[in-house]
A and B are shown apart, each in its own frame.
Chain A
Amino acid sequence: MHAVKRPLPGFGLSLGLTMSFVSLIVLIPMFTLVLMTCSLGWDGFWRTVSDARVLAGYRISFACAFTAALINCFFGVMLAWVFTRYRFPGRRILDGLIELPFALPTAVAGIALTALYTDKGWLGALFAPFGIKIAYTPYGIVITLVFITLPFIVRSVQPVLEQLDKTYEEAGYILGASKITIFRRIIMPELMPALLTGFGLAFARALGEYGSVIFIAGNMPFKTEIAPLLIVSKLEQFQYGQATAVALVMLAVSFIIMFAINLIQTKAAGFTR
């Protein structure tokens, strides 16, 4: 039992400020979105989201975001492993560069990657003789999304690797397990919650990414037109209802992903305690 518990000052002020901000920035806008949704009606909503061009946009967005997040699971774990387990010259610089995609404005990243991967670009020219086009195809979208979402997975996995108790690996080694077995059976299960979280964050970000992708995508309907771009073009034609309908599906998916991440994290926290 504590002796005296005197309430700290500043409750009214801090909660008042917080609620004003949350209302203006989140609650009123979200409420408006709900109002708009209600005025859409089921038919209008369904007609918009079942349109072939919109469906193609969803397919491209989901497929590219998923592929990019999956690629980053591989490279992200590799980078986090190298940064935590090995000491080599230049490690701190490489490690410090990982956040570059967070710091670099997406439009800048978009035009730089596009210039790199066109037929005449530094990297695109290497593939062009084999008839492989990267810019203005889904490959370009995936590469851009890999760039944008790399930090999410590295930075989710890295702290877990740093805190991993090495005695289990040593026990496995003494018992005769190969390095691959140790990685697969001892390290991977420990990394799984963090990796899934990182994957979820990366996937959600990639799904909504707009600024970097529109430059490299070429934005051809049914081929490289992503769903966020559809929202923007509908807005430019003042089709507010249709834009909202397209956005609602994306929002629903994002909320499901965030909910799943929360679930994974509470579950992981429960195991360690």
Chain B
Amino acid sequence: MRKERSVIPLILILASAAFIFLMLALPLLLILVESFRAGLDFFAAAISDPYALKALQLTGIATVSSVGLNTLFGLAAAWAITRFSFPGKGLLTTFIDIPFAVSPVIAGLIFILTFGRISWLHPFLSAYDLKVVFAVPGIIIATVFVTFPFVAREIIPVLEARGTEEEQAASLMGAGFLTIFRRITFPHIKWALLYGVILCTARAMGEFGAVSVVSGRLRGKTNTLPLYIENLYDEHQFTAAFAVSSILVAAAIIILIARNIVEYTAKKDEDTNVR
């Protein structure tokens, strides 16, 4: 049923390639061209500006901490949800999904209400001198919120499908929690976990809406890289804005490649395991 009238595939392929080129590749190309518009020296100066470095550092801190926290949470939640039955489990999974339904700006608003000056928690927070909003902890909490379901969502289905027989057997033979996790559970979930971590990193590094609301944008203090780009752009320093953006573009491309490698390797792994 192939062969005859092979123009339709050709048209569809060309249309798809054109669409991807115009929508996805062209913006990337533009960032590269624009960032070197004023020459290599300007580019180097823009990305080594102290404020840029400070913002890069903060983005790094926020990304690493939120990915770490969400990995810990994702593993704990997946273990509790797939390995035990307890009342309120359905409700718990719904709570984990809530951040998906909340716009980042609204997430920021919610954290201002919770940890800011007007909060019911404010007397408690100020008594212990905890500064959350307009400070680094707020940025981290907001980033954890927007990436909250990523890791858990990737691991839960894998553990669910796997069943508990092997772990039961190990437990019966006297293996402790750490041994079971390290020797039996982890090898099965490693690709899913890595995939979740990659998704989480991508989102955490670029988060804008939620962070922009809670950070207070103190330049050199609570400005992340995306917020710093906005500052430069608003001040009409377009070339500098694009130069700084190219750091994030490079990170995004690395993430994309890593994602494809993980997906490919995981598929191959699965094929060999299934016999």
Contacts and interface: CB of A to CB of B under 8 A. Distances in A.
Contacts of A35: 120
B246 to A, nearest CB: 9
Given A105-B248, A208-B105, A210-B105, A123 B114 contact: no
A10 interface: yes
B95 A27 contact: yes
Contacts of A96: 256-257, 259-260
Interface string B165-207: 0011001100011001100000000000000000100110111
Contacts of B16: 78-79, 82-83, 94
A5 B252 CA distance: 46
Given A9-B176, A146-B23, A107 B109 contact: no
A179 B248 CA distance: 44
B6 to A, nearest CB: 10
Contact of A97 (B75, B245, B256): B256
B72 A17 contact: yes
Interface string A231-266: 110010000100110010011001101100000000
Contacts of A218: none
Contacts of B167: 8
A244 B19 CA distance: 39
Interface stretch (A112-120, A129-137, A189-197): A112-120
B79 A6 contact: no
Given A25-B145, A75-B19, A247-B106, A105 B113 contact: no
A26 B26 CA distance: 38
B274 interface: no
A168 interface: no
A7 B242 CA distance: 56
A105 B208 contact: yes
B84 A7 contact: yes
Contacts of B161: none
Contact of A244 (B23, B113, B253): B113
Interface residues of A, number: 86
Contacts of A6: 168, 171-172
Contact of B92 (A22, A28, A102): A22
A104 interface: yes
Contact of A115 (B30, B98, B227, B249): B30
A86 B12 contact: yes
Contact of A258 (B28, B101, B181, B256): B101
Interface string A184-212: 00000000000000000000100111110
Contacts of B99: 25-26
Nearest to A104: B252
Interface in B5-56: 8-9, 12-13, 15-17, 19-20, 22-28, 30-31, 34
B28 A112 contact: yes
B177 A9 contact: yes
B113 A232 contact: no
Contacts of B1: 170, 173
Nearest to A230: B105
Most interface-central of B101, B144, B249 (chain A CB within 10 A): B101
Contacts of B144: 25
B233 A215 contact: yes
A211 B84 CA distance: 40
A98 B17 CA distance: 11
A26 B152 CA distance: 15
B205 A113 contact: no
A240 B248 contact: no
Nearest to B205: A105
A147 interface: yes
A71 B224 CA distance: 33
Given A106-B208, A108-B31, A116 B26 contact: yes
9 contacts: A14-B75, A86-B12, A96-B260, A97-B24, A100-B252, A102-B202, A105-B248, A108-B229, A112-B245
Given A10-B181, A25-B99, A116-B30, 17 more contacts: A9-B176, A32-B120, A88-B13, A102-B203, A104-B27, A104-B249, A105-B248, A105-B252, A108-B31, A111-B233, A208-B103, A210-B103, A210-B212, A211-B212, A244-B113, A251-B101, A257-B101
Interface of A: 4-11, 13-15, 17-18, 21-22, 24-30, 32-33, 35-36, 75, 78-79, 81-83, 85-86, 88, 90, 92, 94, 96-109, 111-113, 115-116, 122-123, 146-147, 150, 170, 173, 179, 204, 207-211, 215, 228, 231-232, 235, 240, 243-244, 247, 250-251, 254-255, 257-258
Q: 3 smallest A-B Cβ distances: which pairs? A: A208-B103, A105-B206, A211-B208
Interface of B: 1, 8-9, 12-13, 15-17, 19-20, 22-28, 30-31, 34, 69, 72-73, 75-77, 79-81, 83-84, 86, 92, 95-106, 108-114, 118-121, 141, 144-145, 148, 164, 167-168, 171-172, 176-177, 180-181, 199, 202-203, 205-209, 212-213, 225-227, 229-230, 233, 238, 241-242, 245, 248-249, 252-253, 255-257, 259-260
